[in-house]
Amino acid sequence: MLDIGACDGVLFRRLGARISGGVGIDPDASPANDGSVRLIGGMFPDDLDTTELFDAVTALAVFEHVDDDARDVFAAACLAQLKPGGRCILTVPSPMVDHVLDVLIRLRILDGMHEEEHHGFDATQTPAIFTGAGFELGKARKFQLGLNNLFVFRKPA
């Protein structure tokens, strides 16, 4: 598995023995390698230093941070990192989340969020970007009272 926006590898720890390992990349990650999981400090796709292909690519609460002019490149790079039949799993918040975050930050309930990087991205654009890169849409649904979106794309076999 390739986890884009891996932070400190939390998803790998949560999944534990359910996966055999993988690579995580995040600008804030401290490089590490425990034999089954390797963390890379850097930006996807530019700093990814592997030719390995993965069964799954995850980008949880990441795509809304990607600049408008880099989204097509991001989607194509996800496709390139997958084995045929592999899945790309994304969560993307609704634009309403930006308003909620603004209020919580003003109330000093939240601090350290990268809300300024969301660029007002509308999650409904996600399927067109990823299918345009060559993916097939497998699932699209809202969760967390409609404030978040799950997308599962498949690389054709």
Where do the domains of the chain lie?
2-154
Query: Once rounded to an integer, what is the mean pLDDT over residues 1-16?
Result: 95
What is the architecture, at CATH level 2, of domain 2-154?
Answer: 3-Layer(aba) Sandwich (3.40)
Give the per-residue pLDDT at 123: 92
* pLDDT digits 0-9 by tens, 82-130: 999 999 999 998 876 565 555 555 677 756 555 555 566 899 999 999 9
pTM: 0.87
Tell me: pLDDT of 11 over 70: yes
pLDDT tens-digit map of 33-79: 988 999 999 999 999 998 999 999 999 999 999 999 999 999 999 99
- Given a contact cutoff of 8 angstroms between Cβ atoms, the answer to whether 71 and 64 are in contact is no
Nearest to 55 by CA among 91, 29, 21, 82: 82
Nearest to 88 by CA among 58, 66, 126: 58
